[in-house]
Copies of this chain bind each other. A is one copy, B any other.
Amino acid sequence: MIESAITSQGTTTLETSPTRYIEGRGIRFAYRRLGPSSGTPLVLLQHFSGNIDAWDPAVVNALASDRPVIAFDNAGVGRSTGQTPDNIAAMARDAVDFINLLGLSEVDLLGFSLGGCVAQEIAAEHGRLVRKLILVGTAPKGGEEHLLAVLHEAFSQTDAPDPRLPLFFTKSSASQASGLAFLKRTKLRKDDRDTDNGSAVTDPQAKALITWCATPDPGDTMLRAIRQPTFMASGSDDTMLRANNACAMFKALSNAYLVLYPDSGHGALFQHHKTFVSHVRTFLEA
């Protein structure tokens, strides 16, 4: 276990904090740690194709104002070494390895999209490691996904400056304006930016997400194994992993809050970042 020499903490932001590295089990994980040093850390699990710099500073920094927040690249992603697995269970094992390497015995998890599938698996399989669970724009095992169709449509929009505009936001002018503001925030960091992901990451990630949704889970055994208080959020018009998924998960989970946001797509948490952060803080502090 080797941690880089950089240990300053506290007032840094996602845009200004140094990227750190920690190594173990053959993988060197890249991460950033924000916020105070004490308190239950909130570990962020990223969406399909995303790296550390794909998180919204408006969300991450606000959450880190009074709790430790850790953004990281799972195995193979961004500047982490290793292979990106093609299944959620292996991604969950890699993430747990990372959390263990940091010496954390209890964390809160925020999983977005693909990261929400990984978060479910961790919460179900590692009950004592996870205190509270936040699932955003995600799907249960056997859920409904439209990944390839939506990706195809997004990438066919050659006039979009970034595929996340059609992927994460609705067609309304308000949502698109929010999308542009979000993209601007994600580009504030100029130095030491994370590495973009290629097909060595996105191909296995796509297979993992599609397989997860194509695998029925009769009796919702995984959701029923999740005993942690859970907060679920979804956009009204998420085209990739529809809000129906969140509604179905809400019914199967024993202790879940569900929030749906207006006029929003897969990136509802970025579009409604102030309200989302307020909801998450209320949930984590309850």
Contacts and interface: CB of A to CB of B under 8 A. Distances in A.
A146 interface: no
Interface string A245-269: 0010011011111111111000000
Contact of A250 (B236, B251, B254): B236
A274 interface: yes
Given A236-B250, A279-B279, A274 B260 contact: no
Interface residues of A, number: 23
A1 interface: no
A5 interface: no
A282 B229 CA distance: 21
A278 B274 contact: no
A249 to B, nearest CB: 11
B250 A255 contact: no
Contacts of A258: 258-260
A221 interface: no
A286 interface: yes
A280 B254 CA distance: 24
A256 B262 contact: yes
A280 to B, nearest CB: 11
Contacts of A256: 262
Interface in A266-286: 274-275, 278-279, 282-283, 286
A260 B257 contact: yes
Contact of A278 (B236, B255, B261, B282): B282
Interface in A21-71: none
A257 B262 contact: yes
Given A250-B236, A278-B282, A259 B259 contact: yes
A282 B274 CA distance: 9
A212 B149 CA distance: 41
A75 to B, nearest CB: 33
Interface in A90-139: none
A274 B286 CA distance: 8
Interface in A197-215: none
Given A282-B275, A282-B278, A282-B279, A255 B259 contact: no
The 4 closest A-B pairs by CB, nearest first: A278-B282, A258-B260, A255-B262, A259-B259
20 contacts: A229-B262, A236-B250, A236-B251, A247-B247, A253-B262, A254-B262, A255-B262, A256-B262, A257-B261, A257-B262, A258-B258, A258-B259, A259-B259, A274-B286, A275-B283, A278-B278, A278-B282, A279-B279, A279-B282, A282-B282
